[in-house]
Amino acid sequence: MNPNKSQINPGRRAFFQASAVGAIVGAQTLLLGEALGAESSAALDGVLKKPDLLHGEVLRTQGELIESRAAVVERERAIPIAGHSDVLVCGGGPAGIGAALAAARAGASVQLIEVAGCLGGVWTAGLLTKIIGGGDKTGVMQEVLTAMQLRGGDVAKSTSGAVYDPELMKLVLEEMCVQAGVRIQLHTRLVGTVTDEQKRIVAIITESKSGRQAWVAKRYVDCSGDGDLAAQVGCQFDVGYDRNCECQPMSMMALLTGLNTAEVSEFIRENGAEAKSRFYKFMKEAGIDPSYRAPTLRHLHSGIYSLMTNHEYGVSAFDAGAITEATIRSRAEVHAIVQGLRKLGSPWQDLAVVATAEQIGVREGRRIRGRYYITADDLISGMRHKEAVCSTRFGFDVHNVFPDGSNPPDVKRYQAAGVKKYDIPLPALVAADVDGLMMAGRCISGDFLAHSSYRVTGNAVPMGEAAGLTSAVSIQKGVMPHELAWNEVQKFAQTKTVAS
């Protein structure tokens, strides 16, 4: 993935010249030494040995179990630096793709860190099959929709790429990122950060089959959905509706086959909004009681369907044990529902599960505090902002927070008021507490209700693009992202970037 020199486009070379001897590079190297303490840093330098990955070597951990047996204390060790880049993007979902592509196309070297085995986040690992709010967007969002439309089946064509095949999405995203020169590291999870005394990020720490590794960049973009990077740095954040962190439920998505499209057309979402309630009524009458009361069946192409019919309530996005239980429970529910439908006979008798999502769909994680906080009132008043990176009119989409089908009290009131087209401003993507860190996607700064609208993927992509571009331009201009206005970023990008 690493472009060799001859592959570097002219824009990229210009970028190198602009930033190679910048104060920021020097400062970061110095600060890393300072962060460890010069003596400690030198001592660890001597013992640093990169494991021979080809021969299966590991960087061994050492430590002690404390007396109470409640914890293990890890011994200090040197973590090899695995890579340097201008911009590091954590998370390769819709937002991360936008960020990585925009930064790379602006000439920055970009490292993308993704824990799954594919790019796309909820789009792919989560088996989502519908892009909401993307149709009126330009840039990367339009490129993705066009690719889905051109290379997808009839349904993708008739929906202008909005209903897509997640497998095709994996391929297209990899192609786009490879072509732009983004360095992709899959199967790798961010687990920590190293900061200096000003709370600026010096390096991030990851875990993977290659062990614990560190990555150094000049700017960082948190596109992890859950705000993992920002939380590690110590940024303030909000979770859920109120102090009890009441969040929207998670959902296990599935791909199915074995249906004749004409025979189940009344239940297919693309044939009308009432398809969901009709399918629910049909299931209930057949003695099937899905945990999501608006089951959504989509035909993708060639007899392949997607189904969302599960809700997992009260599961914390930060509790791997609880997510595991929800995953097992939800997968069992999907299979049980399919078995229940099969028993009904024609046209369901050949119904089969092709795949369930590798990652249960998480609707809500941390909302990191930025330099603007988008509120539900902004949405109902149709807030316009001079630093708008994109606009949307998608409604308050709160799946029932509570298992009895109810929601917090404000939800109905705001839903009745309705969303007017509103702006997502750049400062909502700039971390409030740490310089040099931006966010994009569902972890940006806003309240519970605003998040239920801006979180959709048609917004996540342009947010990512804005964060990636602002990060890249901020390096070239030798300032921090919060010191740039969006129109300056756009103007600078237009004049300085040499498109290849």
Ligand X SMILES: Cc1cc2nc3c(=O)[nH]c(=O)nc-3n(C[C@H](O)[C@H](O)[C@H](O)COP(=O)(O)OP(=O)(O)OC[C@H]3O[C@@H](n4cnc5c(N)ncnc54)[C@H](O)[C@@H]3O)c2cc1C
User: Using CB under 6 A, which of 79, 95, 155, 326 touches ligand X?
Assistant: 95
Contact (CB, 8 A) for 208 and 188: yes
Interacting span for ligand X (CB under 6 A) from 211-219, 358-366, 429-437, 472-480: 358-366
Contact (CB, 8 A) for 471 and 108: yes
User: Using CB under 6 A, which of 122, 341, 368, 380 touches ligand X?
Assistant: 122
Residue 479 makes CB contacts below 8 A (sequence gap 6+) with none
Task: Check residue 130 for interaction with ligand X (CB under 6 A).
Answer: yes
Burial of 14 (0-12, 13-18, 19+ CB in 10 A): middle
Task: Check residue 226 for interaction with ligand X (CB under 6 A).
Answer: yes
Nearer Cβ to ligand X, position 31 or 116? Answer: 116
Rounded Cα distance between 6 and 12, Å, is 11
Which helix or strand (DSSP H or E) is residue 290 part of?
none
Peptide bond between residue 347 and the one before it cis (omega within 30 degrees of 0) = yes
Contact (CB, 8 A) for 299 and 266: no
CB of 56 to ligand X, least distance (A): 24
User: Using CB under 6 A, which of 28, 96, 297, 400 touches ligand X?
Assistant: 96
Among 178, 174, 207, CA closest to 192 = 207
Interacting span for ligand X (CB under 6 A) from 20-28, 67-75, 328-336, 451-459: 451-459
Residue given tokens 């330099």 in the structure block: 371
CB of 458 to ligand X, least distance (A): 6
User: Using CB under 6 A, which of 78, 88, 113, 315 touches ligand X?
Assistant: 113
Interacting span for ligand X (CB under 6 A) from 9-17, 225-233, 236-244, 414-422: 225-233
Nearer Cβ to ligand X, position 230 or 341? Answer: 230
Interacting span for ligand X (CB under 6 A) from 21-29, 66-74, 84-92, 213-221: 84-92
Interacting span for ligand X (CB under 6 A) from 122-130, 165-173, 370-378, 428-436: 122-130
Interacting span for ligand X (CB under 6 A) from 43-51, 266-274, 355-363, 373-381: 355-363
Q: How many residues of this chain interact with ligand X, rule: CB under 6 A?
A: 38
DSSP labels, 9-44: -HHHHHHHHHHTT-HHHHHHHHHHHHHH-HHHHHHH
SS (H, E, C) 211-279: EEEEEEEEEEEECCCCCHHHHHHCCCEEECCCCCCCCCCEECEEEEECCCHHHHHHHEHHHCCCHHHHH
14, two tokens: 């210009």
Task: Check residue 166 for interaction with ligand X (CB under 6 A).
Answer: no
Nearer Cβ to ligand X, position 101 or 456? Answer: 456
Residue 150 makes CB contacts below 8 A (sequence gap 6+) with none
Rounded Cα distance between 39 and 110, Å, is 32
Rounded Cα distance between 452 and 132, Å, is 12
384, two tokens: 């316009």
Task: Check residue 445 for interaction with ligand X (CB under 6 A).
Answer: no
Rounded Cα distance between 414 and 380, Å, is 7
Helices (H), 85-213: 94-105, 139-151, 154-158, 166-180
Q: Which residues from 361-420 bind ligand X, rule CB under 6 A?
A: 361-363
Task: Check residue 203 for interaction with ligand X (CB under 6 A).
Answer: no
Here the contacts of 411-417 (C-beta below 8 Å, separation 24 or greater) are 411/449, 414/376, 414/379, 414/380, 414/449, 417/380
CB of 131 to ligand X, least distance (A): 5
Interacting span for ligand X (CB under 6 A) from 1-9, 71-79, 211-219, 456-464: 456-464
CB of 298 to ligand X, least distance (A): 9
CB of 278 to ligand X, least distance (A): 19
Interacting span for ligand X (CB under 6 A) from 125-133, 193-201, 370-378, 428-436: 125-133
Kindly tell me the sign of the dihedral angle through the C-alpha atoms of 119, 120, 126, 128.
negative
Q: Would you tell me how many other CB atoms lie within 10 Å of the CB of residue 470?
A: 33
Nearer Cβ to ligand X, position 200 or 442? Answer: 442
Nearer Cβ to ligand X, position 169 or 341? Answer: 169
430, two tokens: 């700039």
CB of 171 to ligand X, least distance (A): 16
CB of 8 to ligand X, least distance (A): 26
User: Using CB under 6 A, which of 36, 180, 456, 472 touches ligand X?
Assistant: 456
Task: Check residue 181 for interaction with ligand X (CB under 6 A).
Answer: no
Interacting span for ligand X (CB under 6 A) from 43-51, 117-125, 274-282, 346-354: 117-125
Task: Check residue 251 for interaction with ligand X (CB under 6 A).
Answer: yes
Task: Check residue 131 for interaction with ligand X (CB under 6 A).
Answer: yes
CB of 422 to ligand X, least distance (A): 17
What is the binding site for ligand X (CB under 6 A)?
90-96, 113-116, 121-122, 125-126, 128, 130-132, 189-190, 223-226, 228, 251, 253, 361-363, 441-442, 455-458, 460
